[in-house]
């Protein structure tokens, strides 16, 4: 439940470790950043966890723990930066959801799906409330991202088979998601608020159907 920002030494950046479920810790961290950096311009809500239990087998503790990090944590961080962003005359908030928030999670449980759907609803509502203060709020919905954790759970052969399900032919990489976040945080997205950008290689439109099956059916019916 801690957020790690591993800043390189002598980079001019500061690293903080914060439990996003702890309101007091979040507010103190934001106050420190605002004081030392002269304000807050950008917030990226990216802390998230998940479990894989079915609804029937899921404990109440697991349900609450995932929502506490994925939803409550986002609320705490967003609320904490508002005074500093208003003082600066505006800002940009980018919430990291998931295409599970629009469909379901095949790797996580219902708690993860519900939390990521909640991220999208929270994004829309905040976008409306904060627009008067020139604070933009948008969301990024990553699809299948090839992280070290995913590599640890799958063989190279399995990763190759899963990549075939992505219409653009490869896994989404962390940098692909980072580029989308940078867009929303930048002046290039000056008139974007309350919007969602899917970074999934086309998985939302394919519904997980391999191209081979898609075209085979059409050739057979020709």
Catalytic residues: 112
Q: For residues 41 and 91, is the Cβ–Cβ distance under 8 A?
A: yes
Q: For residues 47 and 70, is the Cβ–Cβ distance under 8 A?
A: yes
Radius of gyration of the chain from its Cα atoms, rounded to whole angstroms: 19
Strands (E), 32-180: 42-45, 91-96, 135-142
- Whole-Å CA distances, 5 to 8, 18, 78, 119: 9, 10, 17, 22
Strands 135-142, 17-19: pairing kind: unpaired
Smallest Cα–Cα separation from 204: which of 158, 172, 159?
Answer: 172
Strands 42-45, 91-96: pairing kind: parallel
**Residue carrying the six token digits 């059916």:** 217
């Amino acid at each position: 439940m801690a957020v790690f920002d591993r800043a390189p030494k002598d980079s001019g950046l500061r690293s903080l470790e914060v439990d996003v479920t702890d309101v007091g810790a979040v507010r103190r961290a934001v106050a420190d950043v605002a004081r030392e950096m002269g304000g807050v311009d950008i917030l990226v809500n990216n802390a998230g966890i998940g479990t894989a239990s079915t609804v029937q087998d899921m404990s109440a503790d697991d349900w609450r723990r995932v929502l506490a990090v994925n939803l409550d944590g986002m609320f705490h961080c967003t609320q904490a930066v508002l005074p500093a962003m208003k003082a600066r005359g505006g800002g940009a908030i980018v919430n990291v959801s998931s295409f599970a928030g629009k469909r379901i999670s095949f790797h996580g449980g219902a708690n993860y799906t519900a939390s990521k759907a909640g991220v999208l609803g929270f994004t829309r509502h905040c976008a409306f409330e904060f627009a008067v203060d020139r604070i933009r709020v948008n969301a990024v919905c990553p699809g299948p991202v090839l992280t070290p954790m995913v590599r640890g759970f799958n063989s190279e052969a399995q990763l190759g088979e899963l990549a075939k399900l992505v219409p653009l032919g490869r896994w989404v990489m962390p940098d692909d998601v980072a580029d989308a976040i940078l867009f929303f945080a930048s002046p290039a997205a000056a008139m974007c608020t309350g919007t969602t950008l899917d970074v999934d290689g086309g998985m939302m439109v394919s519904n997980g159907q391999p191209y081979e099956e898609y075209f085979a059916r059409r050739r057979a019916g020709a």
